């Protein structure tokens, strides 16, 4: 599902860039001498739940220092002659999770976030494997039905609660 969303974003971005370039070339036929070169700026927001949102737009080329000053709360992660990529870590859960996110567990025992009530085809993000045998029966049932997540506080609480059931392999991160 996440791969499909990313693919749709790429197709949309390509369409927008193509459309903008065709409009720009049509407009520039009469005033080519006045048009400033442009650069693509990609802003990536990374949320606590692992979701990444992207905003892509074009701006007139200015020096890098001015762009970094304009986006001083962002981190420069990539740049070349045609594109600048900036990232920002958001200390909150994603808008998608707030509107329709559920914790659940895969058949393999992996703690996951789902877009809606947990089903096989709607997992958004996987976290770590949990030992279902160590859990109380009501906890296993909650995870199978899905645990609704509407806030950062609820997200962090469930993650902390589930950490005690982690099957340690060195890949887990701690939520405080």
List, in sequence order, every beta strand (DSSP E) within the chain.
38-47, 52-60, 75-79, 83-90, 101-105, 110-115, 123-129, 147-149
Tell me, what's the pLDDT at 5? 53
Residue 148 lies in a domain: yes
The verdict on residue 139 lying in a domain is: yes
Q: Is 166 helix (H, G, I), strand (E, B) or coil?
A: strand
CB atoms inside a 10 Å sphere around CB 25 = 11
What's the confidence (pLDDT) of residue 40?
Answer: 93
| Res 53 pLDDT > 60 | yes
Q: Specify the range with the lowest mean pLDDT, choosing from 25-29, 82-86, 88-92, 98-102.
A: 25-29
Average pLDDT score over residue span 36-60: 92
Structural domain range at position 120: 95-163
pLDDT tens readout for residues 2-13: 544 544 565 455
CA-nearest of 159, 5, 23, 137 to 93 is 159
- Average pLDDT taken over every residue of the chain: 82
Q: Give the domain CATH number at 46.
A: 3.10.20.420
Residue 120 belongs to domain with CATH number: 3.30.70.1740
- The percent of residues in the chain predicted with pLDDT above 90, rounded, is 57
Q: Looking at 14-28, 52-66, 75-89, 108-122, which range is the least confident one? A: 14-28
Find where tokens 């096989």 sit: 120
Q: Does residue 109 share a domain with residue 81?
A: no
Residue 77 has what pLDDT? 94
Q: How far is CA 114 from CA 64, 121, 173, in A?
A: 39, 9, 19
């Amino acid at each position: 599902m996440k791969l499909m969303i990313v693919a749709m974003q790429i197709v949309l971005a390509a369409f927008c860039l193509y459309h903008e370039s065709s409009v720009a070339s049509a407009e520039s036929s009469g005033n080519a001498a006045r048009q400033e070169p442009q650069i693509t700026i990609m802003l990536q927001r990374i949320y606590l739940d692992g979701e990444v949102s992207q905003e892509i737009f074009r701006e007139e080329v200015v020096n890098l220092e001015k762009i970094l000053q304009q986006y001083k709360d962002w981190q420069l992660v990539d740049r070349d002659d045609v594109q600048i990529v900036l990232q920002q870590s958001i200390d909150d859960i994603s808008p998608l999770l707030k509107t329709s996110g559920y914790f659940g567990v895969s058949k393999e025992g992996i703690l996951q976030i789902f877009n809606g009530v947990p089903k096989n085809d709607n997992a958004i993000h996987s976290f770590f494997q949990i030992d279902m045998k160590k859990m109380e029966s009501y906890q296993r049932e909650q995870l199978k039905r899905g645990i609704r997540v509407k806030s950062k506080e609820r997200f962090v609480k469930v993650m902390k609660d589930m950490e005690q059931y982690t099957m340690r392999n060195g890949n887990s991160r701690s939520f405080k």
